[in-house]
A and B are shown apart, each in its own frame.
Chain A
């Protein structure tokens, strides 16, 4: 069964690989939105540095949010989703595999690029490290929570705005702990409490979120 789930993950990664434009769009969004803030508030170094943890986290969060509809929409459209439901594999496991693949294809690149953007905000190297780590730890949490919203709104008209309303409030704890970790490092304090909470969110999310997501997918398949 795990082998089958792994096969699903590989399939989704293979499909994502054949659409590099999706990945590029997410990265460009991340870069552009981050760049809007200095343009909006001015280039003063101290201010930018102070803002950076929050700005970069929000930009990454929004970029990963934009990728959410891709998680199930294509499979729903071509009928693969119902075949997955019929395959005999538990649907929560299917959800977990797809969400993980989604994060690897869409969320991981954002995390890897973030230190470069952090440089634009004059963040010191150790803070860049914490930024990367926080996005690596928190990204999967965003993906699994976002998956719940994506499944609930699957196939609905005008689902983009609705998805934002459903999912962004649920993102808030992850944002607080993630940006908080980077902030702490910036202030010379230990980021460990924040990072631990972040890891807890991700683990709890990976374990629990696939259940309502699977239930929502069944509703969408009816």
Chain B
């Protein structure tokens, strides 16, 4: 598909037009993120009742579960932008994927850490090889692989496309990996040591998690847009509009 044939559709595909748009969105998304996270955490930490079996420690689920969701959603978004970039050959799509990767990795890490913090008081161990945590660990490896490949390839053209291929191969494999890890888990886990056994969810708790998840989403969007603005400036630094912008900043 040629960009020139569909100018309206691809108006924001140009880094020059996207840059100011992203700039306007970042503060609003950031504010939204803060609000939603505070709300979600207020429900989770203050309002929701303590659990009979797991006491107060279970509250970390309000961070753990949204973080897991976000890490997976970010990977899907990354893969989506990579696919768009490969099909339409738009530089900005690849930059968007690059911008999402570090935040996605961060959420995967957060999910693992909060999972460990949940597990310790519960089962007395810092790590449990249950299906969800193990899959999350592998997802973190996939993110790290993407980031490492991006860092290792100097030519931006090749880096963009190689990472895109990797992200798509990874996205394809994620269901396979999840399935195989669950398979493995059911074969080996005789005991009921599993973080998947969350306490029965009152709808209030689900609201809390949903709000935090939305907050995390808004945070990811804000941070990714901020990061993509930096990437745009770096990649397009030789173009006229960036030169003008930097001159304005310098003289301002």
Contact = CB atoms under 8 A, between A and B. Distances in A.
Interface of A: 148, 152-153, 156-159, 162, 165-166, 168-170, 172-173, 176-177, 180, 183, 197, 201, 208, 212, 215-216, 219-220, 222
18 contacts: A152-B165, A157-B152, A165-B141, A165-B144, A169-B145, A169-B177, A170-B169, A170-B173, A173-B176, A173-B179, A173-B180, A176-B181, A177-B183, A180-B183, A201-B176, A219-B165, A220-B158, A222-B158
B226 interface: no
Prevailing SS type, chain A contact patch: helix
Interface string B125-167: 0000000000000100110110011001100011001100110
B141 A148 contact: no
B88 interface: no
A135 B176 CA distance: 19
B123 interface: no
B148 A162 contact: yes
Contact of B138 (A153, A158, A169, A215): A169
A219 B152 contact: no
A216 B177 contact: no
A159 B141 contact: no
Nearest to A157: B152
Contacts of B162: 152, 216, 219
Contacts of B152: 153, 156-159, 162
A165 B138 CA distance: 11
Contacts of A165: 141, 144-145, 148
A172 B158 contact: no
A172 B138 contact: yes
Contacts of B142: 169
B168 interface: yes
B187 interface: yes
Given A176-B184, A215-B165, A222-B157, A162 B177 contact: no
A176 B158 contact: no
A171 to B, nearest CB: 10
A166 B180 contact: no
A140 to B, nearest CB: 16
A165 B166 CA distance: 12
Interface string B227-242: 0000000000000000
